[in-house]
Structure 1
Amino acid sequence: MTTTSSVNSNTQGINDALKSGSASASELQSNFLTMLVTQMNNQDPLNPMDNSQLTSQLAQISTVSSMQTMNATLSQLLAQVSASRAMDSAALIGHTVMVPGTLVSVTDGVAGKIGVDLPSTADAVTVDVLDKDGNVVRTIDMKGQTAGVHDITWDGKNDAGNLVPNGDYTFKVTATANGTSVQPVALTYGKVQSISGDSTGVLVNLGNGQTANVDDVRRIL
């Protein structure tokens, strides 16, 4: 005959599983029913075992089951929302968008469009354009700017006024207010080639291996 100590052992096992979350709701329910039947078969009619602990465990198991069902439902809803967002984002294909980035290309003496996102007003904004070796070829003083997205005008020339060679360049933006950086975000334009997704969300693919989260799109042309 199963003893009270074995029932208590099963009870402790269920408590541990509830605390650790190591068992599913169905497994806990199965263990609970096994323990309940064992208790009923072995309790002393003259000194019945205390059922308050079993009642408490049943309530916990019901809660776990409800939460697991809710989590499964939420996961399905999130998957549907993600799929819907991907379909909506497909409308961006073929459009030029402004996203975070520091790459700018020069083709036939014409520089690509670039910009900056200022989270707050800055009394000084400076843009440095660098060649592939990291040398500054052009410094652009934008002076003070209000918070928001701004285009940066670069005519494709160096500080001496000469057109720079065709190719890829990078740029960095420094913006300060009262001598303190306002953490500007450099922006670049690109044409959306396709839409994809990963664990971070929906991505816009701009070609040349460049991607950006659709939530980071600052402007659509």
Structure 2
Amino acid sequence: MATTSSVGNSTSNSGVNQALQSGSASAADLQSNFLKMLVTQMTNQDPLNPMDNSQLTSQLAQISTVSGLQTMNETMTQLLTQTAAGRAMDSAALIGKTVMVPGSEVSVAGGVPGKIGVDVPTTADSVIVQVLDDKGNVVRTIDMKGQKAGVHDVAWDGKNDAGNLVADGDYAFKVTATADGKDVSPIALIYGKVQAISGDSTGVLVDLGDGKTANVDDVRRIS
């Protein structure tokens, strides 16, 4: 009796598993390749030890899963693209508005400083703001005492600790906040006027001019 070569279940399974892991083939390609392997397997199976129904069912279920997952992935990608486009259009309403976003730079012009703020994630019994010059020296310390959780404006009149107006220019500021002696990770905030809306891989961005941008999800206040 002539012998026949056996194409085992592992061969077909391996091909499907590799396709699942690489994600390089389309659902149609996977189905075509799978059917070719299955026909070859059934044609060359040992007639004395044919593939049982459970093997066939298992392999058909695998290719069905691959096809279903790829279709679902394509649908999700389309939905995400449409959602991103919709968010960008909705965010266009922010153009011309003043927003408060994370940042730690503030400018002084004509003796008047830009508006700054702080986001306190949880109620703190101590909130301290320090304004620094371009050399990193502290020119003003503002004690905001205890503050409840939320977004707060920082009142800085543009003066240093000696009560004199600081020179016009760019400054930085940092915020520390504690509750029972433990840091509560406050976030320094700046104000800016939205000039345009754009987007990148991180999402929708608000353009505040002078090269400053922020993710629209980081906007803490709109006025």
TM-score, L = length of structure 1? 0.92
User: What residue in structure 1 maps to residue 204 of structure 2?
Assistant: 202
Question: Pairwise mapping of residues 1-221 of structure 1 onto structure 2 (< 5 A)?
Answer: 3-6=4-7, 10-17=11-18, 20-22=21-23, 23-43=25-45, 47-221=49-223
8 Å CA contact 1:2, 1:42 repeated in 2? no
**1:135 counterpart letter in structure 2:** N
* Inter-CA distance 77–8: structure 2 relative to 1 (3 Å threshold): closer
The number of equivalent residue pairs is 221
* Inter-CA distance 140–44: structure 2 relative to 1 (3 Å threshold): closer
8 Å CA contact 2:16, 2:34 repeated in 1? no
Q: Percent identity?
A: 73
**1:5 counterpart letter in structure 2:** S
Query: Offset of 1:200 from its aligned partner?
Result: 1.0
* Larger CA deviation: 149-158 vs 20-29: 20-29
Query: Offset of 1:42 from its aligned partner?
Result: 3.4
Query: Offset of 1:12 from its aligned partner?
Result: 4.6
* Inter-CA distance 47–165: structure 2 relative to 1 (3 Å threshold): closer
* Inter-CA distance 190–45: structure 2 relative to 1 (3 Å threshold): same
**2:222 counterpart letter in structure 1:** I
Which blocks of at least 5 consecutive residues in structure 1 are unaligned?
none
8 Å CA contact 2:7, 2:44 repeated in 1? no
8 Å CA contact 2:6, 2:45 repeated in 1? no
* Inter-CA distance 123–43: structure 2 relative to 1 (3 Å threshold): closer
> Whole-Å Cα distance in 2 between the matches of residues 12 and 207 of structure 1?
56
* Inter-CA distance 16–4: structure 2 relative to 1 (3 Å threshold): farther
* Inter-CA distance 185–91: structure 2 relative to 1 (3 Å threshold): same
Question: What's the Cα RMSD here?
Answer: 2.1
* Inter-CA distance 210–104: structure 2 relative to 1 (3 Å threshold): same
> Whole-Å Cα distance in 2 between the matches of residues 88 and 106 of structure 1?
33
Query: Offset of 1:8 from its aligned partner?
Result: 5.0
Query: Offset of 1:17 from its aligned partner?
Result: 2.1
**2:132 counterpart letter in structure 1:** L
> Whole-Å Cα distance in 2 between the matches of residues 75 and 167 of structure 1?
46
> C-alpha deviations, 1:20-62, integer Å up to 9, x for none?
3454432331222112322443345565332422221111111
Could you say what secondary structure the match of 2:146 adopts?
Answer: strand
Which blocks of at least 5 consecutive residues in structure 2 are unaligned?
none
Query: Offset of 1:117 from its aligned partner?
Result: 0.4
* Inter-CA distance 174–2: structure 2 relative to 1 (3 Å threshold): farther
8 Å CA contact 2:101, 2:218 repeated in 1? yes
* Inter-CA distance 112–28: structure 2 relative to 1 (3 Å threshold): same
> Whole-Å Cα distance in 2 between the matches of residues 42 and 209 of structure 1?
67
> Whole-Å Cα distance in 1 between the matches of residues 66 and 31 of structure 2?
10
